[in-house]
Amino acid sequence: MLKSAALLSRIIFVAAAIVTVVGCSGEPLSTREKGTFLGTGIGAATGAIIGAALGNPLAGAAIGAGVGAVGGYVVGNSMQNSENKQQQTQSQINAQQREIQRQQQQIQQLKSQQEAE
């Protein structure tokens, strides 16, 4: 059991190192990427724990990481798509507000011209 705990701590350390390196790459991670990395880490840790109970923590971690990555990608992708739709809607709202302000200014100009006549 001590050997599998050491292996589990190594797996967690490697996963944390990978996430740290990727996170420091200069570009912020997208929601999709965050979901994938989080799913991979959680899946690997869970798989290692289950694998340790069954006598093979490395295989459990590998299988868990794969399943977690797929699950994390699906959730992260869905969240990313929702964020993109919200940003698009907000852009449309902003454009419409600018158009309303422009039209209000035109109305004010026309009223001022009418009063001057």
**pLDDT tens digits, one per residue of 10-31:** 666 666 666 666 556 667 888 8
pTM of the model: 0.64
What is the sign, positive or negative, of the torsion defined by CA atoms of 69, 70, 73, 75? negative
What does the pLDDT read at residue 4?
57
Question: Which residue positions in the chain have pLDDT lower than 70?
Answer: 1-26
CA distances from residue 88 to 10, 12, 35, 99 in whole angstroms, order as listed? 43, 38, 22, 17
Determine the Cα–Cα distance for residues 74 and 38; give it in Å rounded to an integer: 12
Q: Given the structure tokens 């869970």, which residue do they identify?
A: 46
What does the pLDDT read at residue 23?
59
Q: Which tokens go with 92?
A: 């449309």
Q: Which tokens go with 67?
A: 């399943």
What does the pLDDT read at residue 75?
93
